[in-house]
Amino acid sequence: MSVPASATLDLARSLIQRRSVTPDDAGCQEMLAERLGACGFECQRLDFGEVINLWARLGEGQPLLAFVGHTDVVPTGPEARWHHGPFDATVEDGVLYGRGAADMKGSLAAFVTAVERFLAEGPPTRGAIAMLVTSDEEGPAVDGVARVADHLAAHGEIPEWCLVGEPSSDTRIADTVKVGRRGSLNAALTVRGTQGHVAYPHKARNPIHAVAPVIAELTETIWDQGNERFPPTTFQVSNIESGTGATNVIPGEAHVLFNLRFSTEVTAQALIDRVEAILDRHGLDYDIEWTRSAEPFLTTDRELLEGISESVAAVTGRAPVLSTGGGTSDGRFLAPHGSQVVELGPVNATIHQVDERVTVAELDTLSAIYERLLHRMLRA
């Protein structure tokens, strides 16, 4: 069957019109499964907890190329601030407006239409195609791809190659492809002092004063130099909380949340050890709770890297930048199982914002790149 480029816009609009605020899928995966099933995919729901996940596969054996995405979106904020309703999927002057247009229902639509056009010319001549879709990427990300990846590993179905549709593009479509991600290490620090009256500081111990020089030192610390693919590790404080609300009370505790984004040059445990050594040297009375939400990964598979770069260049006329910048994605759950992961999606300028949007041309270009990649990787 012949699928016109406008089919990508039509499907993206249908997905956006479903209010799938995380972790609610709102029927999006059912819509995708119906389209994929019509192409011959075997579609399986893999639900964990309250999260709906879709695993769809066509063909057997390796290499298995999987498209990975999510149907859940972040809350809209005050809908009155939107110029177009966040779930109206309005198209105006060649631009599609709506929550999830860029992150990432546009990519999901491009996945499906690319596969439909590819299969219209016949099945893969080697390997297989899959699609993994979750409704738990914007939320805790516990019962989504993290659980599905473990399930797939247990059943010998881990994809050799994964393309995640996160909005990777910077200023124009496909100018940037993510080929790895930094690790993410979070800390919740509690520093204990002694509460008292501000007029009698000698009878109290102010935890804010105690932790302030520690924060300064952590901020100024050079953790590593990064490497050819990764920037140096960064440290950022995200929250500081203390006090009773009164101006005449020295607080008894201070709470600090901070995050380290780290490269393959250092391990999470090495960072933990260095941070705690600084805390101990300053003589703080503290507790600290660490959460490792992602390990760094880097894609090195030459065939996949060349395939995605050539596909972008063939469609757009320019080679993409291969980057490891930005935050985390669901690729972090697949890479530890051996998948080689790249990420390519729309321009990320408006993600999570009021009036989130993509151009229609972006969606059509994205679908064409995905189709080209399928030909490159699965049709000898």
CA of 2: how far to CAs of 88, 114, 116, 229, in Å? 28, 11, 8, 40
User: Which residue type, as a one-letter code, is found at position 14?
Assistant: S
User: Would residue 310 show up in a list of annotated catalytic residues for this protein?
Assistant: no
**C-beta separation of 207 from 197 below 8 A:** no
DSSP 295: -
User: Would residue 138 show up in a list of annotated catalytic residues for this protein?
Assistant: no
Residue where the block lists tokens 């445990």: 269
Q: Among residues 137, 160, 253, 295, which one is catalytic?
A: 137
* Of 184, 177, 146, nearest in space to 163 by CA: 177
Q: Among residues 24, 25, 72, 166, which one is catalytic?
A: 72
Pairwise CA distance, residues 303 & 305, whole Å: 6
Helix, strand or coil for residue 310? helix
Token pair, residue 103, equals 């992150």
Helix, strand or coil for residue 99? coil
Element (H, E) at 9: helix 6-16
CA of 165: how far to CAs of 40, 70, 108, 290, 341, in Å? 22, 9, 7, 29, 11
Pairwise CA distance, residues 209 & 68, whole Å: 47
Active site residues: 72, 137
